[in-house]
């Protein structure tokens, strides 16, 4: 382990909710919950104002509504979150070539790689400067942990929440870890935690006292050995700049079980096309097509087919997914469907696939991605207005959807750098209303005054 706290862990505070508050002045300082809004939806994240009521990530949305009925409930805007995330990641890459993203809002940085930090004062200065830069560029806040290992840096950032910086100085690790619950350590999930609890082990100190032999007996050689090392604060894992993508997949959970076999087949085709768009966006192709089906009784089945070579052809993926579906019984109903591609490569072998019909198959598929299947074009689809998403009205300008239903959509007209805006209601088919891309966030209030975070510095992601 290092002699200086030069590994940095950044965790953006309540990232999705903070982005929503930053882009919607009327929601700043208020309870905001982001996630799936259907009967089976779950909370992706929520602001600290919502957590006061007991709401937390991964909670069923129905339960969140009971706890915080007056909160703002929004559908995620993942494309926008990715845009903001990339701005943050660019700031991290300016610090070091060794940046290991863990998710859109979380990453490790090796501060020694470019000589940015070499001891505790220089590391602290780099962390403070990063937090200032993130605030200036995005208007959001992040919590920073600094330590001599990845495990400890992550623990430090959790202690820094919200909107803070914590340094764990080398030599203090064992004393810091000792009273913490075993679930604090990486790799200790609910099942392992319960297993240890039944053995009388609740804290990291008790984990260390149990000894390596006992942990190997309880958890197996690999897990027991690794956990014992972490209990002693030993973590030699390096910061890895590139994490290899092993698969690309998409899935949907349905509010009401799908019983109609034809509808299930159409959903699988749609998911296959989405999966290919994501695959192509990453410049990848793959050999193995995977179908995931969760049935009415929560049993989950996966079926896979390995092709003769990698492909990113939508027709090939659709046909493979359809063949896989033929082997699955969906009689009782389906609550979740997913299509994925694994065995990834950065090249294709389209010539291997005789099942691709016609030399213009790819052109036809691109047209369908833009316009939808020909038979669907004959009947205009009902316009859908997800809560929280951006719209523009020909007369009133830019706004966002507060809610919709019964043929009406309610819009609040405001922008990231305006004050709270007025609310108006329209018919869902109002010709003056259109969906638009989000406006960029601003890091400072009009007039030069800075806003620390969407909730006055009280926003933090639960780990």
Q: What is the DSSP string of 130-197?
A: HHHHHHHHHS--EEEEEESSHHHHHHHHHHH-SS-EEE--TT-HHHHHTTSBGGGSTT--HHHHHHHH
Nearest CA-CA partner of 401 in 433, 431, 432, 429: 433
Q: What is the chain's mean pLDDT, rounded?
A: 84
- The percent of residues in the chain predicted with pLDDT above 90, rounded, is 60
Other Cβ atoms closer than 10 A to 420: 12
Phi, psi of 450, rounded to the nearest 5 degrees: -85, 140
Q: What is the pLDDT of residue 283?
A: 73
DSSP 358-378: STTHHHHHHHHHHH--HHHHT
State the residue for tokens 């950044």: 10
Q: Is the pLDDT of residue 354 over 70?
A: no
For residue 289 the two structure tokens come to: 């097509």
Query: Are the beta carbons of 177 and 205 closer than 8 angstroms?
Result: yes
Structure-token pair, residue 456: 């006055």
211 dihedral zone (left: phi>0; alpha: psi -120 to 50; beta): left
Which residue's structure tokens are 């590391």?
A: 123
Instruction: Give residue 219's pLDDT band: very low, low, confident or very high (50, 70, 90).
Output: confident
At 243, is the pLDDT very low, low, confident or very high (cuts 50, 70, 90)? low
pLDDT at residue 177 above 50?
Answer: yes
Of residues 199 and 444, which shows the higher confidence score? Answer: 199
Q: Please say whether the beta carbons of 431 and 16 come within 8 A.
A: no
Query: d(Cα 95, Cα 110) in Å, to the nearest integer?
Result: 9
Asked if 48 contacts 30 with a C-beta cutoff of 8 angstroms, the reply is no
Place 244 in a pLDDT band, splitting at 50, 70 and 90: low
Q: How far is CA 282 from the centre of its chain?
A: 17
Buried b (16+ CB within 10 A) or exposed e, 72-92: bbbbbbeebbeebbeebbebb
> How far apart, in whole angstroms, are the C-alpha atoms of residue 436 and residue 392?
6
Give the single-character DSSP code of 352: G
Of the listed ranges 87-96, 122-131, 305-314, 440-449, the least confidently predicted one is: 440-449
Separation CA 288–CA 309 (nearest Å): 9
User: How many Cα neighbours within 13 Å face the side chain of 212?
Assistant: 8
Which of 137-151, 233-247, 257-271 bottoms out in mean pLDDT, i.e. has the lowest? 233-247
Q: 43: buried, middle or exposed (CB in 10 Å: 19+, 13-18, 0-12)?
A: buried
pLDDT at 459: 30
pTM: 0.71
Among 40, 52, 112, 5, CA closest to 458: 52
Which pLDDT value is given to residue 162? Answer: 93
Question: DSSP state, 3?
Answer: S
Q: What is the mean pLDDT of residues 423-440?
A: 95
Given a cut of 60, is residue 355 above it in pLDDT? no
311 in helix, strand or coil? strand
Q: What gap in Å lies between CA 226 and CA 234, rounded to an integer?
A: 9
- pLDDT at residue 444 is higher than 90: no
Rounded alpha-carbon distances, angstroms, from residue 16 to 35, 57, 386:
9, 11, 16
> Taking residues 279-288, what's their average pLDDT?
82
Region 410-416: mean pLDDT is: 96
Give yes or no for a contact between 292 and 301, defined as CB atoms under 8 angstroms apart.
yes
pLDDT of 190 > 70? The answer is: yes
Q: What is the pLDDT of residue 36?
A: 85
- List all residues 6 or more positions away from 238 whose beta carbon is below 8 Å from its beta carbon: 98, 110
pLDDT digits (tens, 9 = 90+) for 88-121: 999 999 999 999 988 889 999 999 998 999 999 9
* pLDDT value of position 443: 55
Query: Which residues are known to be catalytic?
Result: 106
DSSP structure class, residue 380: P
Structure confidence at residue 452 as a pLDDT band (50, 70, 90): very low
Return the pLDDT at 457: 32
Does 19 have pLDDT greater than 80? Answer: yes
Contact 421, 398 (CB under 8 A): no
Cβ atoms of 181 and 190 closer than 8 Å:
no
- 289, 304 contact by CB (below 8 A): yes
Q: What percent of the chain has pLDDT over 70?
A: 86
pLDDT tens readout for residues 22-79: 999 999 999 999 988 877 788 989 999 999 999 998 889 999 999 999 999 999 998 8
Q: Quick check: 143 and 13 in contact, CB under 8 A?
A: yes
Q: Is the pLDDT of residue 220 over 70?
A: yes
Residue 460 reports pLDDT greater than 50: no
């Amino acid at each position: 382990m290092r002699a200086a706290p030069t590994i940095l862990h950044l965790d953006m505070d309540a990232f999705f909710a903070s982005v929503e508050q930053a882009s919607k002045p009327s929601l700043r300082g208020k309870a905001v919950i982001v996630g799936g809004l259907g009967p089976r939806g779950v909370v992706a994240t929520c602001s600290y104002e919502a957590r006061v009521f007991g709401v937390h990530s991964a909670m069923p949305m129905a339960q969140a509504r009971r706890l915080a009925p007056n909160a703002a409930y929004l559908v995620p805007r993942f494309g926008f979150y990715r845009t903001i995330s990339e701005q943050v990641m660019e700031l991290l890459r300016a610090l070091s070539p060794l940046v290991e993203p863990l998710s859109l809002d979380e990453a490790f940085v090796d501060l020694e790689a470019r000589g940015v930090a070499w001891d505790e004062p220089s590391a602290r200065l780099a962390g403070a400067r990063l937090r200032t830069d993130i605030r200036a560029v995005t208007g959001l806040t992040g919590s920073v942990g600094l330590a001599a290992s990845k495990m400890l840096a992550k623990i430090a950032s959790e202690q820094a929440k919200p909107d803070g910086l914590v340094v764990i100085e080398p030599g203090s690790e064992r004393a810091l870890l000792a009273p913490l619950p075993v679930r604090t350590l990486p790799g200790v999930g609910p099942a392992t935690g319960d297993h240890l609890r039944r053995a009388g082990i609740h804290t990291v100190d008790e984990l260390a006292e149990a000894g390596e032999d006992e942990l190997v007996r309880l958890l197996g050689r690999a897990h027991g050995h690794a956990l014992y090392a972490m209990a002693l604060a030993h973590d030699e894992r390096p910061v890895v700049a590139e994490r290899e993508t092993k698969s690309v997949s998409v899935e949907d959970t349905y509010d009401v079980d799908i019983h109609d076999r034809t509808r299930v087949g159409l959903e699988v085709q749609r998911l296959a096309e989405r999966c290919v768009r994501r695959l192509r966006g990453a410049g990848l192709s793959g050999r193995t097509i995977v179908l995931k089906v969760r049935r009415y009784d929560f049993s989950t089945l996966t079926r896979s087919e390995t092709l003769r070579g990698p492909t990113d052809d939508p027709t090939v993926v659709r046909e493979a997914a359809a063949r896989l579906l033929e082997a699955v019984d969906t009689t009782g109903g389906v609550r979740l469907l997913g299509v994925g591609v694994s065995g990834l490569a950065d090249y294709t072998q389209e010539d291997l696939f005789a099942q691709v019909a016609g030399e213009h198959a790819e052109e036809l598929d691109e047209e369908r991605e833009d316009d939808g299947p020909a038979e669907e074009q004959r009947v205009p689809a009902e316009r859908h207005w997800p809560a929280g998403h951006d719209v523009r009205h020909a007369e009133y300008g830019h706004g966002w959807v507060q809610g919709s239903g019964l043929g009406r959509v309610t819009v609040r007209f405001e922008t990231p750098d305006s004050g709270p805006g007025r609310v108006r209601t329209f018919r869902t088919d109002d010709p003056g209303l259109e969906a638009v891309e989000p406006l960029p966030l601003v890091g400072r209030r009009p007039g030069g005054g800075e806003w620390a975070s969407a909730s006055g510095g009280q926003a933090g992601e639960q780990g």
